[in-house]
Amino acid sequence: MTERKYKAVILDFDGTIGDTRGLIVTTMQQTIAELGLPARTDDECAAMIGLPLKQTFTGLIPMDDATGSLCEATYRRLFDRNNRPGAVTEFPHVAETIRRMSSAGLLVTIASSRLRRSLTEFVDTMGLAPYIPYILSAGDVTRAKPAPDMVLKTLADNGMEPEDAIVVGDTVFDIGMAVAAGVDAVGVTYGNGHRDDLVRAGACRVIDDFAELEEIVL
């Protein structure tokens, strides 16, 4: 029997597990409008998904730090109002693939720039909590994506080496995080990134359906 190459799969959440684009972009646009900031397109907003919340605004629109903090607070208030039941669902084939990876003995983890409260709520609602025993969220590391900190902490906490894990994400920030940590990365095309950008960022594979991940890790 051929020994499996990977021991752990490190998953992004937004745009990889959960289809959060509509909720995030709508809330970003409402924040921009409420604060009277310069308009941005939906695609421009979506391109910032994956960064820490404050940085999604400071990277999108020139502003001082205080305005960035105000954007963050406003977004959180509006997000809580917009995040009604059913607002976020998992992408096709995500749940069953995660269950199969877990049943096969792989450690399935999440590394997300989302706050832990909303992240764990989404994971619980989707019924994925029993299969994802390790989660890192915003605030759990000093440096956010694309710095390697989340991957390095995941490896250290679980007694693994870079060659033991693979990162799966939809943005160049996810791929950059993996590359910086010396870990293989798979990009997904159905989220908020684009195939060519994911390849240029260093993805070793790019897939169009989450189920294709089984061919790589099982």
pTM, to two decimals:
0.96
Q: What is the dihedral of CA 142, 79, 209, 200, to 10 degrees?
A: -50
pLDDT, tens only, 129-178: 999 999 999 999 999 999 999 999 999 999 999 999 999 999 999 999 99
> By percentage, how much of the chain surpasses pLDDT 90?
98
Distance of alpha carbon 20 from alpha carbon 71, whole angstroms: 19
Mean pLDDT of 42-55: 97
* Long-range contact set of residues 24-29: C-beta below 8 Å, sequence gap at least 24: 24/49, 26/82, 27/75, 27/78, 27/79, 27/82, 28/56, 28/57, 28/60, 28/75
